[in-house]
Amino acid sequence: MDSLVRNYLDQYGVSDATRRFLAKPQKMFIDGAWVDSANGATFDIFEPSTGGLVTRAPSGTADDLDRAVRAARRQFDGGEWRRLKPLERERLLHRLADLIETHGDELAEIEAIDMGKSVTFAREIDIQGTVDTFRYFAGWPSKLHGRTVEPSIPGNYLAYTRKEPLGVVAAIVPWNFPLQTMAWKVAAALAAGCTVIVKPAELTSLSTLRFAELVQEAGFPDGVVNIVTGKGSVIGAAMSAHPGINKVTFTGSTPVGQEVGRTAVGNLKHVTLELGGKSPVLVLDDADLASAARAVANGVFFNSGQVCDAGTRVYVQRSVHDAFLDELIAVTRTLKLAPGLDRDCYIGPMVSAQQKKVVAGYIEAGRREGAKLVHGGATPEGPGHFIEPAIFAHCTPDMSIVREEIFGPVLVTSPFDTLEEAVSLANDTPFGLAAAIYSNDLARVHTLIPQLHAGSVYVNAHSTIDPSMPFGGFKDSGFGKDLGPEQLDYLMETKAVWITLP
Ligand code: NAD
């Protein structure tokens, strides 16, 4: 750890547990053992509010992945894990949820230091969401079953279906909600009876490594959960191609997801792809403008805009457009830009210098293409990768800031007149992750919901996530679902059994 990060931790204060975790050499978790990469390579982990070096983690190789696959296969193909009764799996998952909760403050600090996000939101949203996800899926193993059927064909048969776990699942995770996204994938896979190998994003591997210690403490058999850290182009790509893996569940950008999908389908793996978004928001003229402005600002600037379903394209009915924009700017002014460990931080830094450069490039492109920057958009000099939230008005559908996913605190608005025009603007995108409507007119709301091409529709809210509700996109935002009972369908095979009776 360099002096920038040491001073930062001293300035804001973090727990002894977090300091202990950050001070020790980081290892991967394979087959219940803490190991270095097969070739000894490591990569640096930086803190985004200061840009300082935190620690290093192993840069895994294809050989490391092979070892993890062998361990996960052994457990799946008749190992101790496979022989556990459903209620025993439930007990382990509950124990893990309890341990995550007990260490919640430490995990939130690790997440804030690794990713740059607000430590307060990390505790309230990321860590609580992780605990809730494990609790939710902990209840499922004893409730997974097939059905008996009475066939109509001639003859006398007993016909029934069995639900069986898919096998070894590889989870490839992005950097914006590292622990929570990992939890969505791992909790459901374990509930279904699968074994897992996780590859966290290079930028944010630390909370997943701390999580692995809790997996061990909870008493999961060795090899049921494995963590291989390292490059996406090495580990992620090898996961998509590995014959010993039955399913890849990927969350990340659309271009990488397409590559993962092509490779995985090429060797007939199951695939879930949770990809990018450019979600529309429709503010109708009857909406409560003050509360809509608060929700819209939260829906795009939360996590510094690094949210896949952020409501970044805001279409406002013309008669209230200017009044709404004033409210939105007023709310945005109150959002504190600060280092992640500041307890009052609302908008933290971008995750990396590279991400700051990308977002600043889009703000510049918006200006160049003729959009009107009505608030923010400055990029303070370092230390840290900060960007002020930006609001552009009078945007047109052809502008790059309207068409492309920015993954930063940048919002574009434009007015609409009729609901037909609003639907057409909302759906004018290759993405289909989410959409939001602000209105108290139920008839208009219900007319709009079926017309929006999106995996989630929020009404008078944004990004309301609960483990009991499925999450996943339409169109270029991917396919398959995380969360809810729907996710379990993507982690289990259905076997049809026919028995001829005398
Ligand atoms: P990314 O696609 O660059 O990386 C995601 C993961 O894929 C990382 O772990 C990375 O190491 C790995 N990876 C990189 N190259 C790979 C390859 N060739 N083969 C296999 N794996 C590879 O995305 P990111 O920058 O980490 O995350 C931001 C993106 O994720 C945004 O597009 C965002 O919308 C999307 N996202 C989607 C959801 C969702 O649920 N739909 C949620 C969060 C983020």
Per the CB < 8 A criterion, the answer to whether 346 and 361 are in contact is no
Using CA atoms, how far apart are residues 465 and 446, in angstroms rounded to an integer? 21
Distance of CA 479 from the midpoint of ligand 1 (Å): 15
Per the CB < 8 A criterion, the answer to whether 14 and 22 are in contact is no
pLDDT on residue 305: 98
Low-confidence spans in the chain with pLDDT less than 50: none
Distance of CA 200 from the midpoint of ligand 1 (Å): 10
Residue 395 designated active-site: no
Question: How is residue 367 written in tokens?
Answer: 């200006």
The model carries a pTM of 0.97
* Prior bond of 383 cis (ω within 30°): yes
pLDDT on residue 482: 98
Using CA atoms, how far apart are residues 325 and 330, in angstroms rounded to an integer? 9
Nearest alpha-carbon partner for 419 in 446, 399, 391: 446
Residue 405 designated active-site: no
Using CA atoms, how far apart are residues 435 and 454, in angstroms rounded to an integer? 6
In Å, how far are 198, 225, 460 from 251, measured between CA atoms?
12, 18, 26
Per the CB < 8 A criterion, the answer to whether 54 and 46 are in contact is yes
Distance of CA 232 from the midpoint of ligand 1 (Å): 9
Ligand 1 binding pocket (C-beta < 6 A) is 172-176, 199, 201-202, 232-233, 236-237, 240, 251-253, 256, 259-260, 274-277, 308, 405, 407, 433, 473, 477
pLDDT on residue 381: 87
Per the CB < 8 A criterion, the answer to whether 436 and 338 are in contact is no
User: Which one of 65, 115, 125, 172 would you pick to mutate in the ligand 1 pocket, going by the greatest count of ligand atoms within 8 A of its CB?
Assistant: 172
Domains of the chain: 3-275+479-495 (3.40.605.10), 280-468 (3.40.309.10)
pLDDT on residue 382: 79
The C-alpha torsion from 421 through 423 and 424 to 429, rounded to 10°, is 140
